[in-house]
């Protein structure tokens, strides 16, 4: 490896590139399973550069959370805007698929089951999850109200189930990258109708 000295890569580009590999690492191994050294190595740079740009492991994770959080929130918001309040779960899923087609581990980063709850990154995780949950809650509420169930805990649990369902689909997709976003949407449509739900 060459010595010190700039290589002509702008900070913005380098940050993007680092976050690229960090998102994959965090998505694959979870926060605790990732070492900053490994991220730097896979990005082809040295560890101090990561710290110079992101300040701490938590800061690096924060950057990842913000990227994928924005991506996912925009996708879901867009889907809801397009299909109005009658939008079904499939529209949301479909929008998510096209949004994360180039970033298969986006969802897994935000839904790491054991993220660092303390610190700025944890706060961001809470906020993004909250926003996504709110948007998904409308659909859940429609389903439950239609069936006459009003228990707020039911709503909570149904939301959780929905989030983990998406996690399942996303992780399966990450291991079957040959599937296109459209194919995934079709497949999920098949499964959903087979389950008898609308």
Partner DNA sequence: GGCAGGTAATTTACCCATCAGTCAATTCGG
Partner DNA sequence: CCGAATTGACTGATGGGTAAATTACCTGCC
Binder of DNA out of 19, 23, 26, 57 (CB under 7 A): 57
Distance of alpha carbon 142 from the chain centroid: 24
The one segment of 3-11, 69-77, 91-99, 181-189 that binds DNA by CB under 7 A: 3-11
Of residues 52, 8, 104, 46, the one with CA closest to residue 60: 52
Q: How far apart are CB 168 and a copy of itself at their closest, in Å?
A: 3
- The site for a copy of itself (CB under 8 A) is made up of 28-33, 108, 113-114, 143-144, 146-147, 149, 151, 153-154, 156-158, 160-161, 163-165, 167-169, 171-172, 176, 187, 190-191, 193-198
- Residue 17: partners with Cβ closer than 8 Å, 6 or more residues away: 9, 43
123 binds DNA (CB under 7 A): no
Question: Considering CB under 7 A, how many residues would be counted as binding DNA?
Answer: 29
Binder of DNA out of 37, 102, 156, 180 (CB under 7 A): 37
Q: How far apart are CB 81 and a copy of itself at their closest, in Å?
A: 25
Specify the residue, 36 or 93, whose C-beta has the smaller distance to DNA.
36
Q: How far apart are CB 149 and DNA at their closest, in Å?
A: 44
3 binds DNA (CB under 7 A): yes
Residue 102 structure tokens: 């180039």
16 binds DNA (CB under 7 A): no
What does 198 interact with, of DNA, a copy of itself, none (CB < 5 to 8 A by kind)? a copy of itself
Q: What is the 3-state secondary structure (H, E, C) of the chain?
A: CCCCCCCCCCHHHHHHHHHHHHHHHHHHHCHHHCCHHHHHHHHCCCHHHHHHHHCCHHHHHHHHHHHHHHHHHHHHHHHHHHHHHHCCHHHHHHHHHHHCCCCCCHHHHHCCCCCCCCHHHHHHHHHHHHHHHHHHHHHHHHHHHHCCCCCHHHHHHHHHHHHHHHHHHHHHHHCCCCCCHHHHHHHHHHHHHHCCCC
Specify the residue, 92 or 108, whose C-beta has the smaller distance to a copy of itself.
108
Which residues lie near DNA (CB under 7 A)? 1-11, 14, 34-38, 44-49, 51-52, 55-58
């Amino acid at each position: 490896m060459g010595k010190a000295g700039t290589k002509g890569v702008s900070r913005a580009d380098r940050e993007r590139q680092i976050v690229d590999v960090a998102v994959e690492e965090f998505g694959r191994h979870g926060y605790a399973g990732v070492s900053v050294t490994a991220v730097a190595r896979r990005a082809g740079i040295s560890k101090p550069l990561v710290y110079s740009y992101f300040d701490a492991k938590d800061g690096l994770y924060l950057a990842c959370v913000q990227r994928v959080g924005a991506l996912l929130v925009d996708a879901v918001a867009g889907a809801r805007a397009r299909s109005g309040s009658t939008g079904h779960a499939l529209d949301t899923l479909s929008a998510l698929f096209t949004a994360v087609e180039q970033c298969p581990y986006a969802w897994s980063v935000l839904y790491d089951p054991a993220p660092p709850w303390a610190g700025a990154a944890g706060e961001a995780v809470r906020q993004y999850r909250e926003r996504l949950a709110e948007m998904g809650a409308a659909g859940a509420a429609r389903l439950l109200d239609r069936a006459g169930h009003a228990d707020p805990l039911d709503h909570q649990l149904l939301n959780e189930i929905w989030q983990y369902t998406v996690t399942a689909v996303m992780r399966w997709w990450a291991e079957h990258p040959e599937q296109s976003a459209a194919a995934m949407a079709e497949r999920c449509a098949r499964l959903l109708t087979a389950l008898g739900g609308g």
